[in-house]
Chains A and B, each alone.
Chain A
Amino acid sequence: MKVLVCVKRVPAPGAKINIAADGQAVDTAYLAFTTSPHEECAVEAAVQLVEQHGGESTVLTLGPAEADEQLRYAASIGVNKAVLLPIDVADWDPQRTAAAITGAIRDLESAGGAFDLILFGNESADSGNFQVGVRVSHALDRPMVNGIKGIELQGDSVRAKRESEAGIEVYSVPTPCVLGVKEGINLPRYPTLKGRLASKKVEVGQVVPQGEAGGQQMVMLLQAAEQVSQTIMLGTGPEAAPAVVDLLEELGLLK
């Protein structure tokens, strides 16, 4: 089977997210970059499906030239092919992103055949627009379900599982289809040394992204109101236990 995974390069902030002086982006001067955990799991799912059923996996991203790093990371754990849609800003709005990805998928499919399964993350880690995958699936006229924590191939359909408050929902979606993956579906492997070396040699294909600006436009980033609290020190080491239990009593948690 042929599987495509779409990932996005995002900064990996630590204790706090600092905004750049112009308010247009996260200050990434001292930050590393990563992909969302949801998307890391989607990459792992793609690799596992190809291991089980044969075929080939491809990873795609729309982002700056540096997003090459995220593509090669996916290759280092076993994805076969990589495609970059280069843009000269950090991000495009979700409609424009979806249009560009849709166009690229059409190009890739007309050259190399249709993808049986296209995987997205449940939402991107930074902008969290909850829509790029849905828009792409609709443009390609393929079924899509988001929030997926289980994928099983069954002939011409995929049995996909999703958690809800009431329990687990099961969807039986005919292929070709699109799924939005949630962290927890699997435990992504770490790259082996061999994988890392191989990923350096993977040829990253390029598709020029095309899409009109959408109706949602960012003006600037704002810091969320920070909760400030004076931390009350209850003590050091096991000797603090009585003070902790006093607190539990005070909060009515000791029954």
Chain B
Amino acid sequence: MSVLVVIEHDRGALSAASLEALAAARSIDAEVHALTLGIAADGLAAEVGAHGAAVVHQVHHDVLSDFGPEAWGECVAQAVRALAPSAVLACGTERGNEVMAQAAARLDLPFVANCNEITVGEVWNIVRVRWGGSLLEQCTLDATTKLVSVTHHQFEAAEAPATGAAQSLSLELTSSLARTVVSDRVERAAGVTLATAPLVVGGGRGVGSAEAFAPLEELAGLLGGVVGCSRAVTNNGWRNHTDQVGQTGTRIAPDLYMACGISGAIQHWVGAMASKKILAINLDTEANMVTKADYAVIGDLHKVIPAITAEIQRRKSA
């Protein structure tokens, strides 16, 4: 038995999520191989080897100059035919799941996305994520080659030195695959983002309007944090969707999440639950956000937030 891990990278920059996939692969089988796509990824063999890959299969082709879901999926499908691994594993990132789905479609095999627990056997028993993590599903996977992705952040990356022997894998790729390769990019300016900020001040329907976010902005700015929001807020057009926390927004993991005027619906909660501490500010003592938070202030956010800002300024000037 052997497991082939699809290594995710962006123009040669390794995605840390792939190291999680390597760790997951080691937990199900000792013989781990890796697949890197494009010449830019050749330099990754050493690090991939250090995380447990005995062999790193490298594919080179013009169509792999940048990410392309169809080209990548076709490579994985052909690698399965050429190498006949028992299983293929990727991390359940946006690209990871997309590439695995493309490969599965091409191989006409099942693909189980976002697995938390895998018990191998003739048929695999799997526990996977549903509802963005609010619920789990126990399922079986019956296939000649098992295609799965593991939930991001579920397995911990760890070094496990292996040979990491680079081997060139030659595949037949048609230039028509270029139709879905990234054709242009707009780089983002560096800075704190919702996903990486140490503090997030979140506002919900209770904030009441776009303008009423100014005090939340001020407080976040004072603490080097950013403002987040609930879907009720984006739905009302008060803030851009890039600020939305939750199942269909961003998953945050700050040191502190201050959830102001947010009821704590399960779809919001799954995006916020990785926060180290949560402080809820809400009028309602029974709100789900309040009962689930580590700390709470009961009151009108329009009065509480300015008071917090004033207290911070008072202490800073003292």
A146-B94, A245-B315 given; 9 more Cβ-contact pairs under 8 Å: A26-B135, A129-B113, A173-B180, A216-B111, A219-B138, A231-B290, A240-B307, A245-B308, A251-B277
Task: Choose the segment among B24-32, B45-53, B79-87, B185-193 that binds chain A (4+ C-beta atoms closer than 8 Å).
Answer: B185-193
Question: Do A237 and B10 touch across chains, with their CB atoms under 8 A apart?
Answer: no
A130 engages B101 (CB within 8 Å): yes
* Contact in complex: A128, B223 (CB < 8 Å): no
| Nearest CB in chain B: distance from A93 CB, A | 8
Picked from B113, B242, B247, B273, the residue with its CB within 8 Å of the CB of A130 is: B113
List the A side residues contacting B113 at CB < 8 Å. Answer: 128-131
Residue in B97, B288, B295 whose CB lies within 8 Å of A234: B295
A169 touches B255 (CB 8 A): no
Q: Which residues of B contact A21 (CB under 8 A)?
A: none
Chain B minimum-CB-distance residue to A188? B235
Contact with B along A202-229 (1 / 0, CB 8 A): 0000000000001111111111100101
Contact of A170 among B102, B185, B292 (CB under 8 A): B185
Chain B, residues 90-115, CB within 8 Å of chain A (1/0): the string is: 00101001101110111001111110
Nearest Cβ on chain B to A91's Cβ, whole angstroms: 11
Give Cα distance in the complex from A125 to B300, angstroms: 33
Is B266 engaged at the interface, CB distance under 8 Å to the other chain?
yes
Is residue B14 contacting chain A, with contact meaning CB distance below 8 A? no
For the complex, is A112 an interface residue (Cβ under 8 Å from B)? no
Is B182 an interface residue, CB under 8 A from the partner? yes
Cα distance A171–B197 in the bound complex, in angstroms: 29
B223 lies within 8 A of A170 (CB): no
Chain A residues with CB under 8 Å of B158's CB are none
Q: How far is the CA of A172 from the CA of B181 in the complex (A)?
A: 8
A-B contact pairs, 14 of them (CB 8 A): A128-B130, A128-B132, A130-B98, A164-B10, A168-B186, A169-B182, A184-B241, A184-B249, A221-B137, A229-B292, A236-B298, A237-B304, A240-B299, A245-B308
Stretch from A1-9, A12-20, A81-89 that touches the partner: A12-20
Residues of chain A within 8 A of B141, CB atoms compared: 215-216
User: Is the CB–CB distance between B279 and A247 below 8 Å?
Assistant: yes
Chain A residues near B266 (CB-CB < 8 A): 13-17
Please report the C-alpha to C-alpha distance between residue A184 and residue B235 in the assembled complex, in whole angstroms.
10
- Tell me if B161 is interfacial: C-beta within 8 Å of chain A: no
Q: Is the C-beta of A90 less than 8 angstroms from some C-beta in chain B?
A: no
- A178 → chain B closest CB, angstroms: 10
Determine if B142 is an interface residue (Cβ-Cβ < 8 Å). yes
Q: Which of A137, A166, A220, A232 contacts B185 (CB 8 A)?
A: A166
Asked if residues B179 and A174 are in contact (CB atoms below 8 Å), the reply is yes
A-B contact count (CB 8 A): 263
Nearest A residue to B222 via CB reads A254
Interface hits, A176-196 → B, CB 8 Å: 182-184, 187
Task: Report B192 CB to chain A, min CB distance, Å.
Answer: 13
* Contact across chains for B70 and A143 when beta carbons are under 8 A apart: yes
Whether A138 sits at the interface, judged by CB under 8 Å, is: yes
Please tell me if the beta carbons of B248 and A248 are within 8 angstroms of each other in the complex.
no
Closest to B290 in A: A231
Interface assignment of A241: CB less than 8 Å from any CB of chain B: yes
Given the complex, which residues of B lie within 8 Å of A216, measured CB to CB? 110-112, 139-141
Residues on B with C-beta less than 8 A from A26 are 135
Contacts of B237 in A (CB 8 A): 187
A252 to B276, CA, bound (A): 13
Contacts A184-B242, A244-B297, A253-B256 given; does A128 touch B198 at CB 8 Å:
no
Which of chain A's residues has its CB closest to B240's CB?
A184
Q: Are B288 and A231 in contact (CB under 8 A)?
A: no
- Knowing A128-B113, A166-B188, A167-B188, say if A233 contacts B311 (CB, 8 Å): no
A139 to B108, CA, bound (A): 10
B40 is an interface residue with CB less than 8 A from chain A: no
A130 to B288, CA, bound (A): 29
- Give the CA-CA distance A164 to B242 in the complex, in Å: 12
B135 touches A166 (CB 8 A): no
Judge whether A255 is part of the interface by a CB distance below 8 angstroms: yes
**Does any Cβ of B come within 8 Å of A235's Cβ?**
yes
B105:A254 contact, CB within 8 angstroms:
no
